[in-house]
Each structure stands twice: as C-alpha cells, then as structure tokens.
Structure 1
C-alpha cells in the first residue's frame, strides 16, 4: 500500500515558528518556550549541518495597527506592545541563527512580503496570522527546493504550529512535529494531530534520521 505519511528526510525542511525574545523571556513569554530553547537550537544546528532548509517564521505587531489576528486585534489597536518590529523583543534568539548571521531583521522588507536570507539555505519569513503559509511565500520556497516533508517546532503548539501543520497537510506535505522542541504540547494536543497524519518525534530521533 502507498505510504503518504512517513517523513522523507532527504527532502525535509525545518519550519521554526515564532521563537522571538518577547515570547521566550520578554514582554509576553509563552510558558515552556524558554525551557525548549536548547532543544530548538540543537534541532536547528542539525538541519543546518545536514544542508537542509531552515525557515524562521516570525510575527510582529505595530501598536495601533489592525492587520492582526482577531484575538489580539483590539489590544494592538489600543496600543499594546509585543514583538514590535525593530525592537529587541521581536528578534530571534542568537543561538538559533548561524554564527556569522547578522541578527538584525529587515522588518520593512519582511512585513512587505520579502524573505531575508540568514544562511546558505536559511531564511526568515514574516507571517501576519497563525499559519506560516498564510499570505507568505513559504509554499513557493519549499517547492523550489523540492521539499516534501515539513518539520515543525517552535512556540505555542495550540496556535501557530498547529495551524501551520494543518495548512502543510492540506498542501500535501508530509508533516512532523518535534514535540520536545515545541512549547505548550500536551498528550491530548499531540493525539489530535495524529488524527490528520502528523508524525510526532523528538530532537534525538530527528537528528538520527537526517544523519546529524
């Protein structure tokens, strides 16, 4: 029988979601994210060493703007500040980036839909909503690299990682969630994802699978 779910590791890419200072240990920390940061860093280094693509997906809110997910829209319109573009809180932790990468993000370009390269096959992409596929070039970037398997980790499983996994599956990507490199995981949430074919794994198993 055909196997449409098992990861195709030589054609995989890492999608690391919303790992930004404000969500790690800044203005609006998400429980468990700081604890998972070492695992995220180890996972990112493994994909980098394997020469596989890495996508850092980020979000930002300019105080007063309205192009915001509904649950936060009123707060941001009223001036609330979190991951404000250009502030340290919106930045990616240094340990997740290549050693020689400039950690400064070009927010004007990113928020206009641009992609910022931070390594040979490592990129930053801005998303305006939950899913990393919504109003972004992620799908095109993955297909340009013949990626068939999307490996997701990062911040706050119930929101952006989950939405990204659903959208990846709808685009016929094989999907993997790295549970120990993702915050806000629970057995119930992981079980729900298996019902749509998401494979769950951990950093050690993924490193073995990609050879690093």
Structure 2
C-alpha cells in the first residue's frame, strides 16, 4: 500500500495538521432507517467514523463536515432528485434548520466538536460550488481523507476533484457506504486506479 506521510521540518505544527478529514453527507436524511434518501450501508459506518474522528483529533488533523442543504421548496435541488421526491409527495428534505428523519442533522452517534468546520454543498462533490479548496489551502492542508456517503456519488466525485486539485486523496473504506457491497467494491477499485489511496482503520497511522 502506498503511504502518505506529512512532512514538517520546522516542528511548528503537528504532522496531522496538514491532513483534513472530510465527513461527507452524514446527515439523518441519508443515514437513518426510513429516511427519504437513506443509503443502505450508511448507518453501519457510524461507529467506524467516530473512531476515525477521535484518532484525527488526537493527531491534530482538521475536520470538515460537508453537508447537503436545500431550500425548503426544493428549488435548488438537482432536477432528478427533485422530481423523484415530488413523485413521492415528499417535501422539505434537508431544508435549512430542519430536524427529524429527513433533516440536515447529524445521525445518532455522530456530533461536531468545537473547532470543526462546516461546508454546505448542493451537488455531489464537496468542491463544486463551495470554497472548500480555499479553506484547505489557507490551512496548509496537503492530504484529504474522505469519509461518509455515498461512495459512488459524493465520495467518488470529491475524490476525483481532489486529485485534480493536486491533493493527496485517501479514502477510508470502512467509513464510506454504498447501497450494495458490489457498488462499494467497484467504486473503491476505480478510485484506487485513479490515484487515491484506499485504507482501513488500522492504516490511519500512515496518514497522520
């Protein structure tokens, strides 16, 4: 496995501070059973994500929560998703300040900590239409570690954009989710071929 090791010659910052963990779309609307946009494998990743974030904080890594948020009427939602929800008579999904099953809230078992940052996005990639790249560069981030849901859409598109922007991209496989194991496996293989490093929790020391 390729290793990514942050370098720090002046001793001024912990090695982990050049690494950012991006927690993508871990919100009730995508995670909780019965939610309108639920991803089948997402709920099971919560304990692994919590462990990864605990390790990241101990190492001095920065954490960004990348979250979906749409106007209450769905007017800024992607057309296919808006049409699908309208056909089911569902509205108000991921509306600002929403609570409950289809809300923007973190799922049970995950919570933000002081010092964590939040990026609001409207589309798959964490970089599309946001100032995430600027924020990462201002913090001297060189490596991004991707966690969350869903692997074939938001994780994958953020991975490819991160590679295009010359970040070292790491995907923490047990902390990402898809609707089926086959989808998960094929997308991990594709991202690895594109240049991402795919790791498990036991490999976290290689990026911190």
Number of residues paired by the alignment?
A: 186
Q: CA deviation at 1:210?
A: 5.3
Equivalent residue for 1:153?
Answer: 147
Equivalent residue for 2:98?
Answer: 87
Equivalent residue for 1:116?
Answer: none
Gaps of 5+ in 1: 102-118
Give the alignment partner of residue 30 of structure 2, picking from 4, 23, 41: 23
TM-score of the pair, normalised by structure 2: 0.81
Change in Cα spacing, 1:137 to 1:8, as seen in structure 2 (3 Å) is farther
Report the Cα distance in structure 2 between the residues aligned to 1:181 and 1:124, rounded to whole angstroms. Answer: 19
Equivalent residue for 1:178?
Answer: 172
Give the alignment partner of residue 202 of structure 2, picking from 198, 201, 204: 204
Report the Cα distance in structure 2 between the residues aligned to 1:35 and 1:43, rounded to whole angstroms. Answer: 14
Equivalent residue for 1:69?
Answer: 78
Equivalent residue for 2:12?
Answer: none
Report the Cα distance in structure 2 between the residues aligned to 1:200 and 1:74, rounded to whole angstroms. Answer: 34
After superposition, the C-alpha distances for 1:125-173 in whole angstroms (9 at most, x for unaligned) are 1001110001111101110111111110101101111110011011000
What is the RMSD computed on CA atoms of the aligned residues?
2.1
Equivalent residue for 1:46?
Answer: 55
Gaps of 5+ in 2: 7-14
Residues 126 and 158, structure 2, Cα contact 8 Å, conserved in 1: yes
Report the Cα distance in structure 2 between the residues aligned to 1:209 and 1:169, rounded to whole angstroms. Answer: 18
